Amino acid sequence: MTLLTEIEPATAVKKIAALDEVNTFVFDMDGTLLNDEHVISPQNLRALHGLRERGFNLVIATGRHVNDVQFHLQQLGGDIATITCNGANIHDRNGELIYREGLPLLVNQTLLPLAAQFNVNLNMFTDSEWLTIAPCEAMLDAHEQTQFFYRQIDLQEMIATPALKILFYGEHAELLKLKAKILEHTSLQINLTFSDDCYLEVMQKNISKGYALKVLLEKLSLSVDQAMAFGDGLNDVELFRTVAHPVVMENAGKTLKQLFPNARRAQPNHEDGVAKFLFDYIL
């Protein structure tokens, strides 16, 4: 286990002057702020508490449901704005909903029967729940600490249920085939993205972490030019295109690294990369 003293500011490299202007820090959860056991390590907790003590603005931007991040918000002391379901929901520092954009039922009617033809697990995030067609134990491990789990329903009920986000879980090769089939339906107004190789996600068109951050910062009278974002997945692409200071985790996939070759890098999530970066360059 890494000791806290190994990332003390005293051992850090010289701070980067260009980062002096940053006043807002945005964090993806899985693969970024969370380690491979899906928890925030003591080192990352200490670093984020350090940011709060210095008066910086913190934002969580995740594909997870808002009910799935409440445990972590409590760990961090609250008073943190959240972008959830990849931007379909935005909550302010007090937990008040300030933006919502769901999917039209036409998307359900088109995509859910289509996906049932592939070897994938069908999931849906509503305003309050995570719904699934069939149990999938492999999906539950990431939510053990937060205790946010799915409820099983049948396909017809899911088709008739308004959704913030549709989630397909399965082998990457199978999801690629499903994605190709979905893209044949060019009339659908959707945003289709991989948050991980085994997660293909569908939101309303133009919904992304990046768009949501613009909405949020405008309400807070803050600028994207003074924002830094940490992420590791393709659902962070628009977020990185929005902020002035993207930071790509070393555990990110090849495609994300190629899209942002000049972005700063943080060590892998399982090596407390967020904390080490912050102590090296900010704190």
What pLDDT sits at residue 186? Answer: 86
DSSP 187: T
What pLDDT sits at residue 19? Answer: 79
Strands 227-231 and 24-27: parallel
For 185-238, the DSSP string reads -TT--EEEEEEETTEEEEEETT--HHHHHHHHHHHTT--GGGEEEEE-SGGGHH
Strands 57-61 and 24-27: parallel
Is the pLDDT score of 134 beyond 80? Answer: yes
Is the pLDDT score of 10 beyond 80? Answer: no
Domain ranges of the chain: 9-100+207-281, 105-204
- Give the pLDDT band (50/70/90) at residue 53: very high
Q: In CATH, what is the architecture of 9-100+207-281?
A: 3-Layer(aba) Sandwich (3.40)
Selected catalytic residue, list 20, 28, 30, 36: 28
Is the pLDDT score of 65 beyond 80? Answer: yes
Determine the Cα–Cα distance for residues 225 and 244; give it in Å rounded to an integer: 5
Is the pLDDT score of 7 beyond 60? Answer: no
User: pTM value?
Assistant: 0.93
Catalytic annotation present for 28: yes
Is the pLDDT score of 8 beyond 90? Answer: no
Mean pLDDT of the chain: 93
Multiple choice CATH, 105-204, 3.40.50.360, 3.40.50.720, 3.40.50.1820, 3.30.1240.10? 3.30.1240.10
End-to-end CA distance of the chain: 22
